[in-house]
Copies of this chain bind each other. A is one copy, B any other.
Amino acid sequence: MKIPVKHDFPLTEIRRYLEPGPIVLVSSRWKDETNVMVMGWHMMLGFSPARFGCYILDGNHSFELIRRSRECVINLPTADMVDTVVGIGNCSGSDRIDKFAKFGLTAQPGRYVDAPLIAECHANFECKLDDDRQIDEYGLFIWEVVKAHVAPSPKRPETLHYRGDAEFMKSGGYISRRSKFKPQNL
């Protein structure tokens, strides 16, 4: 897998990558343990501060790493990484597997978090836990995204969107309606 060059990206514009609903890889680190999990249940919750919510089942090995460290990185894989995504989904961190080594992924240091960025992904979003009050009842983590790293090319990466039943939808073509939008609604 190739490693795209990434640039800083404005936090107010990260919805471009997250709002369409792609599968993401969540990397975490707590003490001497690092893990990666696959996640499809997430949403934007604000532009500024850039807020993001996600659901993590407490049965996931990453759950405690993320809850205790109060940090994570949301990494955006592209469609060519589908077998890596499936492989990560199939193995639990409780087996103490080094998923970076097993799947040939490159860990890069973040600016504000200890959890590693996955270099092969198109984008990486460093997150700090903003609110833990919905975790026990709903498995819902509310994050502030504090740093975004995005590859400027391709402008529209092919992303994976999970439908359940082992089936991924890929992102397709696009439609622009700029002339029809009210400016305040863009």
Contacts and interface: CB of A to CB of B under 8 A. Distances in A.
Interface of A: 13, 15-16, 19-22, 40-46, 51, 53-55, 79, 82-83, 86-87, 89-90, 131, 134, 137-140, 142, 156, 158, 160-178, 180-182, 185-186
The copy count of this chain in the complex is: 2
A138 B175 CA distance: 30
Looking at chain A's contact residues, the main secondary structure is mixed
B55 A89 contact: no
A181 B166 contact: yes
A66 B17 CA distance: 28
A65 to B, nearest CB: 19
Contacts of A90: 180-182, 185
B89 A181 contact: yes
Contacts of A186: 164-166
Contacts of A41: 19, 43-45
A90 B99 CA distance: 46
A123 to B, nearest CB: 13
